[in-house]
Amino acid sequence: MTIVHGIVVLIMMAEAALKAALNGMSEAELKAITALAQAIATVLSAFIIGVAGAFITSLFNRRRDQEQRESWWRGHALELTKLDLERKLGTRNPQTAEPLRPSILDFLANYRDLQQLGDMTPAQLYQKIEDDRVTEPDEIPPSSMSWRKGFLDVLAEHPEQRVALVELWLKVFPEDTKWLPTVGDSTAAGQSGS
């Protein structure tokens, strides 16, 4: 309260001193002081308007630039997703029943990567993606190994149906084509020899 009271007292003292100084001046001097005060007020108001206008304009420009970048990112993420989907469909085994990864997930990943590209260099982003998201293929889980062992046991118990069982297994588990053809070849050779 005392600070406000002190400011009010200072303003009243300045007003009294200004009135005393103006009482002893001539008409021409008062007009000159009025013109000078108006000029200073005009320049000061123009400066304040200029600073405020530049600040407001920079806010709107930053927002517009951000919206343009996001629009650019969305467009490019969509194009990358389309290309990725075309690649997946072109390289996909037509006999597989495994569903494709939903393209919205690819779109969101591409969009996130493009947003991060605004903060990183391409080399940094590549390294981050490689470190964080690229994984080596997992080892064969023990449950899959037990299924395979069980399948080989069935083949041993039913030698007359080995070829049909191998073909059926490959239709259900196309990823096993790496090791099953050798089983099929050995069983076919065993059948032809008997």
Which segments of the chain have a pLDDT < 70?
1, 134-149, 151, 162, 168-194
Q: Compute the half-sphere exposure of residue 100: CA atoms within 13 Å on the CB side of its CA.
A: 17
Q: What angle do CA 164, 167, 173 make, to 5 degrees?
A: 135
How far apart are the C-alpha atoms of 73 and 176, rounded to whole Å?
39
What's the burial of 176, exposed, middle or buried (CB within 10 Å: 0-12/13-18/19+)? Answer: middle
The residues, ordered by sequence, that sit 6+ positions from 49 with a Cβ below 8 Å of its Cβ are none
How far apart are the C-alpha atoms of 22 and 24, rounded to whole Å?
5
Residues in the chain: 194
Q: Which helix (H) or strand (E) holds 58?
A: helix 27-91
Of 133, 135, 124, the C-alpha closest to 105 is 133
Looking at residue 157, what is its pLDDT?
76
The first and second tokens of residue 91, run together, are 């390289």
Residues 153-190: pLDDT tens digits? 777 777 777 677 777 666 666 666 665 555 544 444 44
Alpha-carbon distance values, 14 to 5, 11, 31, 51, 88 (Å): 14, 5, 20, 29, 81
> DSSP 3-state helix, strand, coil percentages of the chain (rounded to 5)?
85, 0, 15
Looking at residue 137, what is its pLDDT?
58
Looking at residue 92, what is its pLDDT?
79
In terms of C-beta distances under 8 Å and separation of at least 24 residues, what long-range contacts does 172-179 make, across chains too?
174/93, 174/95, 174/96, 176/148
